[in-house]
Amino acid sequence: MPTPDNDAFDAEALYRDLLEQVRAGLSGVNDAAIVGIHSGGAWLAERLAADLGLPQRLGFIDVSFYRDDYAKKGLHPDVKPTRIEFNVDGATILLVDDVLYTGRTVRAAINVLFDFGRPQRIMLAALADRGGRELPVAADFVGARAALAPGQSLSLGRAGGQLSLTIEDDNA
């Protein structure tokens, strides 16, 4: 949790905790694959795939065209390619996002996955869960839970291979 004198989490410690949860949760799963949601979830997925020895079973999703607010907001200026180069049918997919909030991004990502096939199971990992769900979505693995004040958000950053997770004021 953030300390009173700053608004930062120890993202590296949260990642290590998340990694151990995922390692235990995927133990004994034969056809596991990891799919990260751009951008922060993709960064986490890359590290998880490397640490779990699954680099050939790594994919990335951009949900821009699948969002239920696409017609209202239009195309995000930083669309990334969706890349899933393994067979999704029958696989156990670990879907990875940086911050779980309303559940709408996860819903959109599941829609993308089903365009590639029918997984046996989809599990969800998030570095942080900030609550505020609008859809019935829950993470199987989570590094931290955070209650934020209205007008605040969590932002994952990456510099020099190190992760940072900070609370930002949306009104600033």
Question: How does DSSP assign 32-47, residue by residue?
Answer: EEEEEETTHHHHHHHH
Residue 66's pLDDT is: 81
Each residue's pLDDT expressed in tens, for the chain with a length of 172 residues: 444 345 668 999 999 999 999 999 999 999 999 999 998 999 999 999 999 999 999 999 999 888 665 445 555 557 788 999 999 999 999 999 999 999 999 999 999 999 999 999 999 999 999 999 999 999 999 999 998 988 999 999 999 989 999 999 987 6
The answer to whether 135 touches 102, Cβ cutoff 8 Å, is: yes
| Residue range 8-169, CATH number | 3.40.50.2020
**Where do the structural domains in the chain lie, given as residue ranges?**
8-169
pLDDT at 59: 98
Cα–Cα distance for residue pair 74/77, rounded to 1 Å: 9
Sheet containing 121-129, strands listed edge to edge, beginning at the edge strand earlier in sequence? 58-61, 32-37, 92-100, 121-129, 141-145
